[in-house]
């Protein structure tokens, strides 16, 4: 496995911190009522979005989930307009029509989240199909978690992707929970990699809290996909730190969350970079300041952005011809 260039490591760190701090802001804004709807925080899983999305080109398509802020930021970088969208504003990524679960930035290959567990997987095959159809070496990524592997779409898509050798990277963020259901109560066989292989999809398990491991595995998979070697699956072991969703209380066994603290993807990577001498304490301070200022601007941008005007909004179903 090739080692990762320093400037890429710094980029990975920047995104990790950006997403973490973004989500912390969102949590506060949600409890203040400035952000509404169903909000699923990504805290604890940042290494997956960053490791995968930063191995992609803009033109590669990403199909995300209900827990999609991390994917959206890592793929598009549009922090300000994502914040505005969560606040329901006209300058939001989806002009206030989609909200947290439906973040779209097509020029950057961000093709939306999904409110339906497992619903985005078939769409992600579509992105891969288009690339293959056009003879392009673009690839497509479908994110989902351990709950979604029990939706029929997952199995159907494993088979179809393998059968048609579609350039799709299926990324399972095994974060141990689907809402309040722990993974051992939802699957008889914990191993998602094994399922994928039984359908003919090459699959690999990776530490989803280690951004370098994810980045390297994704980079290798993406390279193979660009060479038409057929679909791949990455199972990223990780942990959902926050409750499932804004409105849902969390009732995990006390202490369980703390067990994961040493595996926190941000601290882990910071520690490693500091250890390697790749960054200094003052680099880190500067980074945190940069991120804080950017998020201040993002919140301000969101708060200033006008509400979408229902009079202007066409209230129409059909795209004009």
Partner 1 sequence: MRKIWYKTAINEAMHEEMARDERVFLIGEDVDLFGGVFKISRGLVERFGARRVRGTPISESAFVGLAAGAAMTGLRPIVEMMYIDFALVAMDQLINQAASTSYMSGGRVRLPLVVRGQYGTGTSEAAQHSRNFESWFINTPGYKVVMPSTAYDAKGLLKSAIRDENPVLYLENRVLYTHKEEVPEGEWLVPLGSAEVKRAGADITVVATGYAVHKALSAAEQLAGRVDVEVLDPRTLDPLDLPAVLSSVRKTANLLVVQEAPVQCSFASEVVRLVVQEAFRDLEHPPLALGAADVPVPFSPALERAVIPQVEDIVAAVQRVLEKGA
Give yes or no for a contact between 174 and 143, defined as CB atoms under 8 angstroms apart. no
Q: What secondary structure does DSSP assign to 24-58, as a single string?
A: HHHHHHHHHTSS-S-----TT-HHHHHHHHTTS-T
Residue 181 sits in the site that holds its own copies (CB under 8 A):
no
Residue 194 sits in the site that holds its own copies (CB under 8 A):
yes
Among 63, 199, 239, 301, binds its own copies (CB under 8 A): 199
Q: Rounded to the nearest whole angstrom, what is the least distance from the CB of residue 179 to its own copies in the complex?
A: 16
Query: Can you give the C-alpha Rg of the chain in angstroms?
Result: 19
Residues 75-114 that bind its own copies (CB under 8 A): none
Nearer to Mg ion, 187 or 228 (CB): 187
Quote the Cα angle for 169-224-67, to 5°. Answer: 20
Nearer to its own copies, 37 or 200 (CB): 200
Residue 146 sits in the site that holds Mg ion (CB under 5 A):
yes
99: left (phi over 0), alpha (psi -120 to 50) or beta: left
Residue 126 sits in the site that holds its own copies (CB under 8 A):
no
Among 7, 133, 135, 189, binds its own copies (CB under 8 A): 189
Could you list the residues that contact ligand TPP (CB under 6 A)?
A: 40, 66-67, 115-117, 145-148, 175, 177-179, 240, 244
Q: Which stretch binds Mg ion (CB under 5 A): 82-90, 100-108, 172-180, 305-313?
A: 172-180
Its sign, for the CA torsion 294, 296, 299, 301, is negative
Give yes or no for a contact between 182 and 175, defined as CB atoms under 8 angstroms apart. no
Residue 177 sits in the site that holds its own copies (CB under 8 A):
no
Nearer to ligand TPP, 179 or 259 (CB): 179
Q: Rounded to the nearest whole angstrom, what is the least distance from the CB of residue 143 to ligand TPP in the complex?
A: 9
CA-to-CA distance for 60 and 261, rounded, in angstroms?
33
Q: Nearest 5°: phi and psi at 173? A: -90, 90
Cβ-count burial 276-307 (b if 16+ within 10 Å, e if not):
eeebeeeeeeebeeebeebbeebbebbeebee
Nearer to ligand TPP, 243 or 308 (CB): 243
Residues 165-184 that bind partner 1 (CB under 8 A): 178-181
Selection from Mg ion, partner 1, ligand TPP, none that 186 binds (CB < 5 to 8 A by kind) is partner 1
CA-to-CA distance for 206 and 78, rounded, in angstroms?
28
CA-to-CA distance for 279 and 12, rounded, in angstroms?
13
Residue 319 sits in the site that holds partner 1 (CB under 8 A):
yes
Q: Where along the sequence are the contacts to Mg ion (CB under 5 A)?
A: 145-147, 175, 177-178
Contacting positions for its own copies (CB under 8 A): 150-156, 159-160, 162-163, 185-189, 194-195, 197-201
């Amino acid at each position: 496995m090739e080692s990762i260039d320093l400037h890429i490591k710094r980029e990975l760190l920047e995104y990790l911190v950006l997403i973490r701090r973004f989500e912390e802001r969102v949590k506060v804004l949600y409890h203040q009522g400035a952000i509404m709807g169903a909000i699923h925080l990504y805290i604890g899983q940042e290494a997956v979005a960053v490791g995968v999305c930063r191995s992609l080109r803009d033109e590669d398509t990403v199909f995300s989930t209900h827990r999609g802020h991390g994917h959206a930021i890592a793929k598009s970088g549009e922090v300000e307009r994502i914040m505005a969208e969560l606040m329901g504003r006209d300058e939001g990524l989806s002009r206030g029509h989609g909200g947290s679960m439906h973040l779209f930035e097509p020029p950057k290959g961000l093709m939306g989240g999904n409110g339906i567990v497992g619903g985005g997987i078939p769409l992600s095959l579509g992105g891969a199909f288009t690339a293959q159809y056009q003879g392009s070496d673009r690839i497509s990524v479908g994110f989902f978690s351990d709950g979604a592997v029990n939706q029929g779409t997952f199995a159907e898509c494993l088979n179809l992707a393998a059968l048609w050798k579609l350039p799709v990277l299926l990324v399972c963020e095994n974060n141990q929970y689907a809402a309040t259901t722990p993974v051992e109560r939802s699957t008889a066989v914990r191993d998602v990699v094994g399922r994928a292989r039984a359908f003919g999809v090459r699959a690999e398990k990776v530490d989803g809290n280690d951004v370098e491991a994810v980045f390297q595995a994704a980079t290798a998979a993406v390279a193979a996909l660009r060479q038409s070697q057929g679909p791949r699956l990455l199972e990223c072991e990780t942990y959902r730190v926050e409750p499932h969703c804004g409105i849902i209380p969390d009732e995990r066994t006390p202490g369980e969350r703390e067990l994961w603290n040493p595996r926190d993807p941000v601290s882990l990577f910071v520690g490693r970079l500091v250890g390697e001498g790749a960054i200094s304490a003052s680099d880190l301070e500067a980074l945190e300041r940069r991120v804080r200022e950017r998020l201040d601007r993002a919140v301000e941008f969101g708060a200033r952005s006008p509400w979408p005007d229902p009079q202007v909004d066409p209230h129409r179903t059909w795209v004009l011809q």
